[in-house]
Structure 1
């Protein structure tokens, strides 16, 4: 008896198909700017350097007070850090605990969702570090062509 052979789908092909489907969804959502696009919304919110640096600092050190976090990040202004922390808290990436003391003490830490974002950010940072020599070479080549 002759049975038809079923083509074997490799794991790489399966992953490529999944990635392709995800990209179609993202691009279709992004086409209509009047429609809400969750990817665009979240990336817009976390893509500034202060948000990512805040997430990484809290992920590295756990719970930090405002001035400790400001010192850890470096050249961020007090106002910018305040706005950043409010946005991250509003989106559920960090939690803020206020202690009724004089002066008031406020501590920030990552939520479970913030921890997940930090893990994704570390993957991006790892990729960027590995690609840095190639990126610098490409930039230099581009500048020399102008």
Structure 2
């Protein structure tokens, strides 16, 4: 019973979801996978941050911020017409393709679908899809209360 209570408290107080994923260069020019990190913050419920290391420059990490809904939509159909694009892999259903602005013209990667689905499931447990706006309004109210003092 104690373990159930601890899990419930953890879920109520949790503010961030982090997930490590591997991206592969779709062009095949670089066989090494990119170990990346997806981050979702309750205080910014519309956004997902993806940290992508650069294989050619030591220590450089590109931060790509995009809408959580883009990941969800991109599982089943092409999504995004800007710098970030997410879509089912053209050949292998268990993979997802991502075009990211890590180079001037963008770069296409692919990744396993299952870790992305797990990440989205965790983010939806933290902030249900469709309930983001009240979260943003509450955060804004807290900030404004601090400014007004």
TM-score class, shorter: 0.3 to 0.5
Q: Which has the larger radius of gyration?
A: 1
Query: What TM-score comes out, normalization by structure 2 length?
Result: 0.39
Whose strand proportion is higher, 1 or 2?
2
Whose helix proportion is higher, 1 or 2?
1
